[in-house]
Amino acid sequence: MLDADKINALLPQTQCTRCGYPDCASYAQAIATGEAGINQCPPGGAEGVQRLAALTGQPEAPLSEAFGLEGPRTIAVIDESWCIGCTLCIKACPVDCIIGTNKHLHTVIESQCTGCELCIPACPVDCISLVAAHPEPAPTGWAAWSQTLADQARERHAFRAQRLVRAKAEHAERLLAKGEHKAADLAAASKLTDPAVLDHKRSMIEAALARARARRQNT
């Protein structure tokens, strides 16, 4: 089987999902196993197909229009006059290049934006648009990108994945601690007064806590 890591190293790391896979690494794995073709990456364009053909030994093929067309690099821009601070674009960005907090204006770090377009459908007020990253005549594919930018985007995507795992674990810990605190003195933490109802509630909470502890041990 082909080396998925070597294939992934040749992809532009826009993490745009246009290839039909959730990220570049998943697409690379699909190529390695023969599940996907080497011509499904519009951001990589024709040069990207050539790179993958040279590595995999597969014949070059035109970029499949079913996955999109090769085009100029674009950058997302947020119209701050319309931004409502919902944070949905932040959650959608695969490389953590949108900054802001809940109910405060967001902005895109243009130098880190891969032009993946995933933030656009996530915005409920349609305040995000795409602008050209280069003046006309704008280069396309790898001519509009660089290996350095791709490597940086891959690192940010990996960091984001680690951040999300850590945040999920920390959230679970907070919920567990909160549940244990309530279970320690359920009568004081609840408006219930019937002893039988309290006992039933306590058993349900203890069962839920046991499941949460088991999940923590298995991670």
pLDDT number for residue 209: 64
From first to last of its 219 residues, the chain has per-residue pLDDT tens of 789 999 999 999 999 999 999 999 999 999 999 999 999 999 999 999 999 999 999 999 999 999 999 999 999 999 988 999 999 999 999 999 999 988 888 999 999 999 999 999 999 999 999 999 999 999 999 999 999 999 999 999 999 999 998 888 777 777 767 766 666 666 566 666 667 666 666 677 677 667 767 766 666
Q: Is the CATH number of domain 74-143 3.30.70.20? A: yes
Please, are residues 119 and 76 in contact by the beta-carbon 8 Å criterion?
yes
pLDDT number for residue 207: 72
3-state secondary structure of 92: helix
What is the domain partition of the chain in residue ranges? 4-67, 74-143, 164-218
Tell the CATH topology of 4-67: 3-methyladenine DNA Glycosylase II; Chain A, domain 3 (1.10.15)
User: Residue 154, Cα to own-chain centre: how many angstroms?
Assistant: 11
* Number of other CB atoms surrounding residue 215 within 10 Å: 12
pLDDT number for residue 190: 67
Q: How many CA atoms lie within 13 A of 104 on its CB side?
A: 6
* Number of other CB atoms surrounding residue 192 within 10 Å: 14
